Structure 1
């Protein structure tokens, strides 16, 4: 009827116009949200609270260690997706893995979380400002691994442990070696050739950082590293305990093949690649030994290689 044309909202044509819909919300609601995150990363989960408490305890231990008490070094942060994954693959110890909130996940992030979970390392979410502060503004890419303070042994413990096992101590002392990778290489060689530990000075020397751990290929978990307040006095204490101190020097008085004390209790002292042994350390050594290099193309070897050569010769004679 004609009057019906005035009815409100009455369709007067068969052509359909714009329809009110959900705006795609229903479709998006049906899409998957990816794998379920570990319990340690779920907000409010008991395991996340436990992980946060563990990380806080580690932070307290770090602050105490940085105060210089005991035989610990300060903890450090490994930042960036590739460095964190490589550190976890190398079984470098970690006290917490910090993951950026709402991180854009990829294979490296997933592998880092998986490795940390398998090793029982707490996973903690952190907002970007907090992660920036913790990493000193470095390009962390949303991942940061906290390395706990390394617990150094006492130099006297290295020889005592060898004697307790009925073995002649074989120890390497580093004088002025500042590259952590050289320290890691020496630790690896000590493990390979049956040595009993490494001694490093407390100041102006490489320490057991993440780089040293990585170069050691996991052997740092088995080879103790001791830190000496004064390397010269430590060597003198070893001499009083019956150990021979053999220093490596390019101008040494004796060739390595002629040294007869390597099958007994001995400390092998390796200097820096540039300056070699310091004056006081060189004067303290019982013998100054040179490694024969018939090739002549190189004047010296770096600390890691030189220590490996002498450790091999010592292991050969002991066998």
Structure 2
């Protein structure tokens, strides 16, 4: 990435650009990211094809590294950038439009996973939750998250902002059939633990010495019956009876920490 010689002169205000406020899904198949961590991580990812960067001069100066020569930058004022992102979103002077990442295949991830945990999400559709789970997956060195393509949010600015850069570093595998994916994960030597508040065993009691695939259900409905049936064990977090449950992203972070710190 390069910051300096490649800066281009102002060519107009961002408020006149195509596309306006939205979820971070730009037109013509592009995605739009905002905020320093999400934009910087996308710029540094060699697998990401970049289209255009709208930025304040302060935003450009905040980047770690330099933009390449002739990188398409349009300078704008902060209020103009606010028109390109979701309402009341802190863009930090940076809005990047780029292509979505290429699809990642489960078999390829499992080959190089080297025993690192895999997080399977059953119909977790909130982009903030998926982004936060990606961030926790990066923090605890998970190999990937796996979602069903029809019941998960698309790659977007909301996901990227919540992931704080992890969208570029953690593999996100989308599959047609989640039950079949769980069978494939088991064949790769993983013990599949479904997190369910009604389980008898705690996560610590259900923890094996082998690699773990952590299966998380949607808030409210939890895991579907068929998905629970494809788990080797069901487990719960030992939370206080004064609260019914945790947010799915918080529960995932705690479970990943427990996996990372388990006794060998």
Counting matched residue pairs gives: 230
Is the counterpart of residue 237 in structure 1 residue 184 in structure 2?
yes
Match of 1:302 among 238, 242, 247: 247
- How far has the Cα of 1:115 moved from its partner? 5.5
1:123 corresponds in structure 2 to 73
Within 2, Cα distance between the matches of 1:185 and 1:248? Answer: 17
8 A Cα contact 1:272 1:302, kept in partner: no
- How far has the Cα of 1:114 moved from its partner? 4.4
- How far has the Cα of 1:254 moved from its partner? 1.7
2:107 corresponds in structure 1 to 156
TM-score with structure 1 setting the length: 0.61
Within 2, Cα distance between the matches of 1:304 and 1:174? Answer: 10
Within 2, Cα distance between the matches of 1:247 and 1:276? Answer: 10
Within 2, Cα distance between the matches of 1:307 and 1:89? Answer: 21
Is the counterpart of residue 109 in structure 1 residue 60 in structure 2?
no
Within 2, Cα distance between the matches of 1:98 and 1:217? Answer: 18
Within 2, Cα distance between the matches of 1:282 and 1:144? Answer: 40
Q: Secondary structure at the match of 1:300?
A: coil
Q: Secondary structure at the match of 2:134?
A: helix
Structure 1 gaps, min length 5 = 1-36, 44-61, 64-73, 79-83, 100-107
8 A Cα contact 2:120 2:216, kept in partner: yes
8 A Cα contact 1:153 1:226, kept in partner: yes
Greater relative CO, 1 or 2 (CA 8 Å, sep 6+): 2
8 A Cα contact 1:96 1:124, kept in partner: no
Q: Secondary structure at the match of 2:152?
A: coil
Which deviations, in whole Å up to 9, do the C-alpha atoms of 1:255-294 show, x marking residues without a partner?
1121131x3122100111121101211121111111111x
2:31 corresponds in structure 1 to 76
1:145 corresponds in structure 2 to 96
TM-score with structure 2 setting the length: 0.73
* Structure 1 residues 77 and 123, CA gap change in structure 2 (3 angstroms): same
Within 2, Cα distance between the matches of 1:202 and 1:77? Answer: 20
8 A Cα contact 2:116 2:141, kept in partner: no
Is the counterpart of residue 91 in structure 1 residue 40 in structure 2?
yes
Q: Secondary structure at the match of 2:96?
A: strand
User: Superposition RMSD on alpha carbons, in Å?
Assistant: 3.5
8 A Cα contact 1:89 1:115, kept in partner: no
Within 1, Cα distance between the matches of 2:37 and 2:108? Answer: 29
- How far has the Cα of 1:98 moved from its partner? 5.7
Q: Secondary structure at the match of 1:317?
A: coil
Which deviations, in whole Å up to 9, do the C-alpha atoms of 1:118-172 show, x marking residues without a partner?
334422589xxxx9xx969x99xx985313212332112222102xxxx324100
8 A Cα contact 1:147 1:210, kept in partner: no
Is the counterpart of residue 277 in structure 1 residue 223 in structure 2?
yes
Within 2, Cα distance between the matches of 1:39 and 1:316? Answer: 45
Match of 2:214 among 265, 268, 275: 268
Which deviations, in whole Å up to 9, do the C-alpha atoms of 1:56-79 show, x marking residues without a partner?
xxxxxx95xxxxxxxxxx42235x
2:166 corresponds in structure 1 to 219
* Structure 1 residues 42 and 180, CA gap change in structure 2 (3 angstroms): closer
Which deviations, in whole Å up to 9, do the C-alpha atoms of 1:175-215 show, x marking residues without a partner?
11111221122122222223211111111212332222222
- How far has the Cα of 1:227 moved from its partner? 1.1
Within 2, Cα distance between the matches of 1:160 and 1:269? Answer: 20
Please identify runs of 4+ aligned residues in structure 1 that moved more than 4 A: 87-90, 113-117
